Amino acid sequence: MFDYNWSLKDYPKKKKFTVFGTFLCGGGSTMGYKLAGYNHIGGVELDPKIAAVYKKNHNPKYLYNEDIRDFNSRNDLPSELFNLDILDGSPPCTTFSTAGQREKTWGKKKKFAEGQKLQQLDDLVFVYCETIKKLKPKVCILENVSGIIKGNAKWYSKKIIEYLENIGYSVQVFLLDAATMGVPQRRQRVFFIGRQKELNWQNLKLDFNFPVIPFGDIKDKTDNENKLSEYFYSLWQNRKPTDGDFSAICERVEKKYKLFSHRFIKREKPAATLTTNIMDFILYDVPRAINQNELLKISAFPYDYDFCGISPIFITGMSIPPVMMAHISEQIKVQWLDKQV
pLDDT the model gives residue 223: 80
> pLDDT at position 24, please?
97
The CATH classification of domain 8-209+322-339, taken from the options 3.40.50.720, 3.40.50.150, 3.40.50.1000, 3.40.50.2300:
3.40.50.150
Give per-residue pLDDT as tens, 3-34.
Answer: 999 999 999 999 999 999 999 999 999 999 99
Which amino acid would we find at residue 268? E
pLDDT of amino acid 143: 97
Q: How confident is the model at residue 106 (pLDDT cuts 50, 70, 90)?
A: very low
At residue 110, does pLDDT exceed 70? no
Residue 84 has pLDDT above 80, yes or no: yes
- Mean local confidence (pLDDT), 281-286: 96
For residue 121, what pLDDT is reported? 63
Asked if residue 137 has pLDDT above 80, the reply is yes
Quick check: 97 pLDDT over 60? Answer: no
Element spanning 189, H or E: strand 188-196
Q: Which of 47-56, 91-100, 221-230, 281-290 has the lowest mean pLDDT?
A: 91-100
Give the confidence band of 102 by pLDDT, cuts at 50, 70, 90: very low
Q: Average pLDDT in the 92-108 region?
A: 52
CA distance readout (Å), 212 to 178, 182, 244, 270, 335: 9, 7, 19, 7, 25
- Residues acting as catalytic residues: 93
Q: What is the pLDDT of residues 30-82, one digit of tens each?
A: 999 999 999 999 999 999 999 999 999 999 999 999 999 999 999 999 999 99
pLDDT at position 105 over 50: no
Domain layout of the chain by residue ranges: 8-209+322-339, 215-314
- Alpha carbon distances (Å) from 296 to 16, 102, 131, 300, 321: 27, 29, 32, 6, 10
The sign of the CA dihedral 73, 74, 79, 84 is negative
Nearest to residue 50, comparing CAs of 312, 328, 267? 312
User: Distance between CA 316 and CA 35 in Å, rounded?
Assistant: 17
What is the CB-side half-sphere exposure of residue 231 using CA atoms within 13 A?
5
What is the SS3 assignment for 31?
helix
